[in-house]
């Protein structure tokens, strides 16, 4: 048996606290059991702790041990966000010099659904679970990423005017039919805090996002499904700002019994077809702020 110095436990040369020490992108297979439904996920886990000024190194392998003990020992977890919470708890037990722990987990979430045309299709989401734990307690969030299409309301008015000029005398019809506009993939991220005693299903969040996006993208589209997806996006043209606001409203209605300090993060990224860059909007707030703003 070799006797080794515990280098990390030494006193550091400079007694400065380190805000975050950790690892990103550790991959683990996780089986989620939800009621009588089991799903196998390939998760990516980020895990960070703080390091006090009095210790040289955080023990990286112990953080991984915490993950191992929970994932490999348990085999089945009730949810991604519950897993993040348990890993944060176990990590702080093992690294008793740390007071903060942040755990983020994401996984591709492929779901077999039916196309409007009733063909079996795969929809491709991401699900997210996060726990931020410190002296003041623990906050857990659950989230999803959903891909849809959005058409620009502003460009639609411009092209309507251009077509009207080229085809005079048809303004009444042109004012009624959806006109061409630039449209593009729109990536929505929706995360919500889970209050104690409440629960949030990732599938519910997907439903909210899809309602605002008018559906979500999938690989196989029959021509008529494709036509309707495009048609609907142009009947309801939306800015990224509209998308995040409409999702906020739906989240507020769906979880109307959640308290004011419930965290909410909504992002919409539009891969602008007329620009070489993406456009973003994000609402990063809590339920209370939104409720107050709507009343104002």
Binding mask 200-219 for its own copies (x = CB under 8 A): -----------------xxx
Spatial distance between the Cα atoms of 280 and 265, rounded to a whole number of angstroms: 13
Structure-token match 């004012």, residue found: 175
Spatial distance between the Cα atoms of 257 and 197, rounded to a whole number of angstroms: 12
Among 76, 171, 175, 180, binds its own copies (CB under 8 A): 180
Among 175, 199, 284, 288, binds its own copies (CB under 8 A): 284
Considering the complex, state which of residue 124 and residue 196 has its C-beta at the smaller distance from its own copies: 124
Spatial distance between the Cα atoms of 114 and 105, rounded to a whole number of angstroms: 28
Cβ at position 109, least distance to its own copies in Å: 10
Two structure tokens written together for 26: 């550790």
Residue 188's H or E segment, with its range, is strand 183-193
Spatial distance between the Cα atoms of 25 and 194, rounded to a whole number of angstroms: 24
Spatial distance between the Cα atoms of 125 and 188, rounded to a whole number of angstroms: 10
- Which residues have C-beta within 8 Å of that of residue 54, sequence separation ≥ 6? 11, 12, 15, 97
Beta bridge partners of 150: 184
Binding mask 58-87 for its own copies (x = CB under 8 A): x-xx--xx-xx---x---------------
* β-bridge pairing 263-270 and 183-193: antiparallel
Selection from 134, 75, 57, 135 nearest residue 101 by Cα: 134
Q: In what order do the strands lie in the sheet with 183-193?
A: 37-51, 101-114, 120-134, 137-151, 183-193, 263-270
The answer to the question of residue 244 lying near its own copies (CB under 8 A) is yes
Greatest Cα pair distance, the chain, in angstroms, is 93
Cβ at position 79, least distance to its own copies in Å: 18
The answer to the question of residue 4 lying near its own copies (CB under 8 A) is yes
DSSP code, position 12: P
Cβ at position 195, least distance to its own copies in Å: 20
Binding mask 124-163 for its own copies (x = CB under 8 A): x----------------------x-x-x-xxx-xxx-xxx
The answer to the question of residue 119 lying near its own copies (CB under 8 A) is yes
The answer to the question of residue 32 lying near its own copies (CB under 8 A) is no
Contact window for its own copies (CB under 8 A) among 78-86, 96-104, 204-212, 244-252? 244-252
Cβ at position 93, least distance to its own copies in Å: 17
Contact window for its own copies (CB under 8 A) among 76-84, 90-98, 196-204, 222-230? 222-230
The answer to the question of residue 114 lying near its own copies (CB under 8 A) is no
Cβ at position 26, least distance to its own copies in Å: 5
The answer to the question of residue 261 lying near its own copies (CB under 8 A) is no
Cβ at position 86, least distance to its own copies in Å: 17
Contact window for its own copies (CB under 8 A) among 136-144, 181-189, 191-199, 255-263? 181-189
Give me Rg for the CA atoms of the chain. 24
The answer to the question of residue 286 lying near its own copies (CB under 8 A) is no
């Amino acid at each position: 048996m070799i006797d080794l110095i515990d280098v990390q436990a030494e006193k550091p040369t400079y007694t400065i606290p380190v805000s975050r020490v950790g690892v990103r992108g550790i991959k683990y297979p996780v089986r989620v059991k939800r009621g009588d439904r089991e799903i196998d996920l390939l998760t990516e886990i980020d895990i960070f702790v703080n390091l006090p000024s009095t210790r040289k190194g955080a023990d990286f392998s112990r953080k991984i041990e915490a993950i191992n003990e929970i994932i490999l020992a348990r085999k089945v977890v009730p949810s991604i966000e519950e897993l993040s919470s348990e890993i944060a708890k176990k990590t702080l037990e093992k690294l008793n010099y740390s007071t903060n722990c942040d755990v983020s987990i994401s996984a591709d979430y492929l779901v077999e659904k039916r196309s409007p045309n009733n063909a079996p299709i795969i929809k491709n989401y991401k699900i997210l679970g996060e726990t931020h734990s410190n002296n003041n307690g623990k906050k857990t969030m659950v989230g999803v990423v959903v891909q849809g299409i959005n058409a620009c309301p502003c460009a639609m008015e411009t092209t309507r005017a251009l077509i009207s000029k080229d085809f005079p005398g048809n303004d009444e019809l042109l004012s009624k039919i959806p006109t061409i506009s630039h449209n593009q993939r729109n990536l929505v991220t929706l995360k919500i805090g889970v209050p104690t005693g409440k629960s949030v299903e990732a599938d519910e969040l997907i439903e909210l996002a899809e309602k605002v996006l008018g559906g979500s993208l999938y690989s196989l589209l029959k021509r008529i499904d494709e036509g309707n997806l495009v048609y609907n996006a142009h009947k309801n043209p939306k800015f990224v700002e509209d998308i995040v606001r409409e999702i906020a409203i739906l989240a507020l209605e769906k979880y109307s019994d959640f308290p004011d300090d419930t965290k909410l993060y909504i992002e919409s990224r539009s891969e602008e077809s007329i620009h070489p860059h993406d456009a973003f909007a994000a609402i990063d707030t809590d339920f209370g702020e939104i409720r107050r703003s709507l009343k104002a």
